[in-house]
Amino acid sequence: MRRNIVVIGVVLAALCTHAHVSVWAATLNDIESHPYKSSIELLQLNGIIGGYSDGSFRPYAPINRAEFLKILMLAVFGNNVYGVQDRNCFADFTGPEQWYWITACAAKKAGIVQGYPDGTFRGETTVGTAEALKMSFEAWNVSLPPADPAGPWYERYMSEGASRNVFKRLPFNAGYPLTRGEMALLLTMLGEPIASISGSTSSQSNTVTVTFPPPPARCGDGIVGGTEQCDDGNVQNGDGCSSLCIVVAEPIRHGALRLEQRSIIGDARASGTKDVLLFSIDALAGRQDIYLTTLKFKSAAGSLQNARNYRLLIDQDGDGKTESLFGKAEAQSESLTFGNLSILAKDGRYKRIELIADIVETTTAGSIAVVFDTSASDFVEGIGKMDGQDVTGI
């Protein structure tokens, strides 16, 4: 259900200052092998999104608040937006009017967005998963349970997203920065009605300006940014800043980690099958909580090239069933590495981790078996939450 509003038709005019995007591009030349191709094509078919002048969509590029909100408003309300008088509804809406101000002010009037405490909108900021879910549920007027005063603001939005299987494909991480392709997946997975927009031949009404934000904070570059608590460049041990860029307490006891592999019945995989379970473990930390940061696998039978879209799922709520995506990887020859993870295994509590993939659509797809790549000394890496010490080669 979407909000009931009084609307007027508005043409979104282009500003010729940065890269331009054609809203009704005929074809997109860089999505053929993208895992979310169908979602991108659905939004394109409805006239919600389009490509760049070179025919590309750039599905792996980050998407910012201005872009996401415009696409969301089109997906919910079509060519109609609220008839707002004030185009300077945020503190940073000064100077010549920008292409996204009308969308942002319409969304603010409807209560879909409120802006930051300082009154700014910050349209160039990359959109995180929780923020995208909040805006989407507000725009479609989805009924949600009351917010828990004792919990984080995003808890009910993440919970609703989980109930709609969003985290089978996206990481269960409130601050995870979405890409353009993941934006398309998110909007189509929510199951709400998508508006349809007729194309236009007007060069002024079928292009918009897109300014991409700077990349998110990168742990290890020596610059504290984003949600980082510290960043020493990862050049010094024992200084209170772990290699996850979080402040750690004084060392207590060095952590230990136990991994118990679970049996999987049968390894024959039919071609074209999606979300096939290939590997399953239960992780148990001891003495302190441990963040798993790297997992390396290799083929034990068949070929890793018989599958794609390898993903790690974890049991986030402790019910023994994996429901949250926490990592993606592509096979390099017959090896598979998941790096830059942040999977929390708690002291004395099992955490289930499963590797799934999509079998390629061929008539000769063989069996696939996956094991830890024990030929690499760092086939498992982790970091103690309390002391920041490395745990490797388990």
Indicate the Cα dihedral angle 167, 173, 177, 179, nearest 10°.
-10
- Top CATH class of 256-392 equals mainly beta
| One-letter identity of residue 360 | V
What is the mean pLDDT of the segment spanning 75-79? Answer: 85
Q: Containing H/E element for 71?
A: helix 65-77
pLDDT of 142 higher than 80: yes
| Sheet with 324-329, edge to edge strand ranges | 256-261, 276-286, 350-359, 307-314, 324-329
pLDDT of residue 80: 74
Contact 372, 394 (CB under 8 A): no
DSSP 292-342: EEEEEEEEEES-GGGEEEEEEEE-SSSSS---EEEEEE--BTTEEEE-S--
Task: Give pTM, 2 decimals.
Answer: 0.51
Share above pLDDT 70 across residues of the chain, in percent, rounded to a whole number? 74
User: In terms of DSSP bridges, do strands 369-372 and 7-9 run parallel, antiparallel, or are they unpaired?
Assistant: unpaired
pLDDT tens digits along 335-383: 999 987 888 888 888 999 999 999 887 644 457 889 999 998 889 988 8
Contact 40, 59 (CB under 8 A): yes
pLDDT of 72 higher than 80: yes
pLDDT of residue 295: 94
Which residue(s) pair with 286 in the sheet?
256
- Percentage helix, strand, coil for the chain under 3-state DSSP, each rounded to 5: 15, 25, 60
What is the mean pLDDT of the segment spanning 14-20? Answer: 32
Q: How much is the mean pLDDT over the chain? A: 79
* 207's tokens: 């292009």
| One-letter identity of residue 1 | M
DSSP 225-240: -TT-S---TT--SSSS
pLDDT tens digits along 277-336: 999 999 998 888 888 989 999 998 889 998 999 999 999 888 889 988 888 899 999 999
Q: Containing H/E element for 370?
A: strand 369-372
- For residue 375, the tally of other CB atoms under 10 A from its CB is 9
pLDDT of residue 198: 62
Which residue(s) pair with 345 in the sheet?
290
What is the mean pLDDT of the segment spanning 50-65? Answer: 89
DSSP, collapsed to helix, strand or coil, labels residue 73 as helix
pLDDT tens digits along 216-268: 456 677 766 554 567 776 556 556 666 656 655 444 456 788 889 998 865 55
Q: CATH 2.60.40 region(s) of the chain?
A: 256-392
pLDDT of residue 19: 35
* 293's tokens: 């940061």
Contact 354, 313 (CB under 8 A): yes
Contact 68, 132 (CB under 8 A): yes
Distance CA 240, CA 378 (A): 23
pLDDT of 166 higher than 80: yes
pLDDT of residue 139: 93
DSSP, collapsed to helix, strand or coil, labels residue 221 as coil
Report the chain's C-alpha Rg in angstroms: 23
pLDDT of residue 393: 52
pLDDT of residue 217: 52
